[in-house]
């Protein structure tokens, strides 16, 4: 029997790095959120694979080209490696909302592609978002939804965040990616069978 892959899907902007209204257009504009990269490393060390699923409409709007996107992600990989972390892959949608493509969140196309790539049922996958749109994407794909308050949700108060999460059944709210990683690893410890327990 093949072991189940432990997989977490992250949004990028507002979760790994600070969100910018004008899009991240160069490696110099990609600024990691304190503790986020270390959180990825902790997940990796516990056996979790981490992938990124991100809307990048700046490509479709002509604000950034593929060479710049690749340079940004190369810098992101370097920052992660420096703290002992890694992201397996970045899945992104280059289209604008007007294109109405299946891969642009809140539609679930990117997550379905990730599920096929890993051969995993998405109901086993945790997906971390910083907007209601991305929570809806998690819901549409059948992932386990999580909202972090480090990105666009930082502009909301506690009551507003609770209202956002309440629109997606089962969504959990965490302060940031570090808090999510802490919750997931503690949960894993609680449900792991004890060494002397039944097999």
pLDDT tens digits for 21-38? 888 999 999 999 999 999
Tokens representing residue 112 in the block = 């379905």
pLDDT at 137 over 70: yes
More confident call, 21 vs 184: 184
Helix axes 132-141, 158-166, angle to 10 degrees: 30
The percentage of the chain sitting over the pLDDT mark of 90, rounded to a whole number, equals 76
pLDDT band with cut points at 50, 70 and 90 for residue 198? very low
Residues near 151 by Cβ (< 8 Å), separated by ≥ 6? 11, 13, 14, 15, 18, 19, 33, 130, 131
The CATH code of the domain at 7-191 is: 3.40.50.1000
């Amino acid at each position: 029997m093949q072991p189940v892959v432990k997989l977490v899907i992250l949004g990028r902007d507002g979760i790994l790095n600070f969100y910018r209204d004008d899009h991240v257009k160069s490696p110099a504009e990609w600024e990691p959120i304190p503790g986020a990269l270390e959180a990825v490393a902790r997940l990796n060390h516990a056996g979790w694979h981490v992938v990124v699923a991100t809307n990048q409409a700046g490509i479709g709007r002509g604000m950034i080209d593929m060479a710049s996107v690749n340079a940004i992600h190369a810098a992101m990989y370097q920052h992660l490696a420096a703290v002992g972390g890694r992201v397996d892959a970045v899945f992104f949608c280059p289209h604008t909302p007007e294109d109405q493509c299946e891969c642009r969140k809140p539609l679930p196309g990117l997550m379905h592609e990730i599920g096929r790539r890993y051969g995993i049922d998405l109901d086993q996958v945790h997906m971390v978002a910083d907007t209601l749109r991305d929570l809806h994407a998690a819901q549409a794909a059948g992932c386990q939804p999580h909202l972090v308050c480090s990105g666009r949700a930082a502009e909301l108060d506690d009551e507003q965040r609770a209202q956002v999460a309440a629109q997606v059944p089962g969504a959990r709210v965490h302060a940031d990616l570090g808090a999510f990683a802490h919750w997931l690893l503690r949960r894993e410890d609680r449900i792991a069978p004890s060494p002397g327990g039944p097999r």
